[in-house]
Amino acid sequence: MTDIKQVVVIGAGYTGMLAALGAAKRAKGRVHVTIVNPWDRFTERLRMHQIATGQQLAEHRIADLVAGTGIDFTQGWVTRIDTAARTVEVSTADAGQVWLGYDTLVYAVGSATDTARVPGVAEHAFTLNSPSSAQDMAAHLARQGDSEFLVCGAGLTGIEAATEIAESHPNVRVTLLSRGEPAEMMGAKARAYLMAALDRLGVTVRAGVSVTKVLPGGVELEGGEFVTGDGCLWTTGVRVAPLATEAGIATDEHGRVVTDTTLRSVSHPEIYAIGDAAAVRQAYGVIHGTCQSGMPMAAHAGENIARQVRGKRLKPFRFGYIHQPVSLGRRDAVIQFTYGDDTPRPWYITGRAAIFYKESVSSSPIKTYGLSKRLAISSRMLATTGGKRNKPVA
């Protein structure tokens, strides 16, 4: 009789869900998969800014997404990983505590906006770290009349949030605060289009400033200037849960699990790490956390788990970026196409074509999850593996 291997997946976000479904499908009859997640609903992190502006999105229960696959779902928080005993400690949603044993662990805990680095962020700023925090922001905006709102951080999350707020709440004047220039990783033409869209929507951009403190009525900048605001969204800085580091698993300076070429931990090969909590190196450098890279990682981890239980050689993971898609409200977008190392190519698209493209490639993963129940989705179906670099990367 086949020895059933226990696979525990920590995190049921974009990557954890797909890795669990992939392993269960590809290694059916050889593995038993358990997903652990704090919430019983699947959270679409890429669309959190829409929830924060009052838009209603479809809700999906994790138990429904894995129905018919043989995957078990445990709602709770993993508080400890015991690598010697190969168990994880879970504080369950009903205030209980369970230990789950594993032969293979998939570490897919994701990341969150860092609220500890700057004083006052945790107490006075909204974040997009969870559906509840996004809903709190939506309720706040719905109560506002003529008002000011601050968005701290001009990365893609900050830009998408600022444009959604400005479009959904025209009575709210939005100011985008950032150390660097908005979308500075894009090519000049795509970035010029993005800046024009911010101007069209009435978003004030203040680049080259550093927020040193968040207060109830605004933020304090380096140098002492106070910028007033009736609300503040914090989108800058990323933190990873300390679970892996505390367990003695090899991590980098950011707390991400350092992996080998097959996505296994370099110190504990029974652990796969994927998504934002994994430090996965490619020829051009370490992959930065995005859904664009996370979904292929997840599919590849599922493939390798199946190969491992069958005694086959594991395959290395290769990935190249292809684009930087940015929504500019619900009626506009810009897509910057990239080389494999995420530096910009000359090509970009805007407007309706960009909206159609973004919805096609960055839409809800629910259809992918449904398909993965019937087919063995490979990482090659979700990613590119090449892409020339247009400049050296250290």
Report pLDDT for 371: 66
Question: Is a pLDDT exceeding 70 seen at residue 67?
Answer: yes
**For position 94, which CATH number holds?**
3.50.50.60
Number of structural domains the chain divides into: 2
Looking at the fold, whether 276 and 230 belong to one and the same domain comes out as no
Tell me, yes or no, whether 335 lies in a domain: no
Report pLDDT for 384: 47
DSSP for 249-278, written as a single string: --B-TTSPEEB-TTSBBSS-TTEEE-GGGE
Looking at the fold, whether 133 and 161 belong to one and the same domain comes out as yes
Listed residues 178, 213, 234: the one ending a domain: 234
Looking at the fold, whether 186 and 284 belong to one and the same domain comes out as no
Looking at the fold, whether 159 and 207 belong to one and the same domain comes out as yes
Listed residues 289, 318, 347: the one ending a domain: 318
How many other CB atoms are found less than 10 A from the CB of residue 202? 12
Report pLDDT for 18: 93
Looking at the fold, whether 122 and 222 belong to one and the same domain comes out as yes
> Whole domain around residue 188: which residue ranges?
115-234
Tell me, yes or no, whether 175 lies in a domain: yes
Confidence of residue 50 (pLDDT cuts 50, 70, 90): confident
Note the pLDDT tens digit of each residue in 258-303: 999 999 999 999 999 999 999 999 999 999 877 788 999 999 999 9
Q: How far apart are CA 92 and CA 71, in angstroms?
A: 17
Burial class (CB in 10 A: 0-12, 13-18, 19+), 224: exposed
Listed residues 299, 318, 337: the one ending a domain: 318
Confidence of residue 7 (pLDDT cuts 50, 70, 90): very high
Mean pLDDT for the stretch of residues 93-119: 93
**Cβ(330)–Cβ(336) below 8 Å:** no
Tell me, yes or no, whether 337 lies in a domain: no
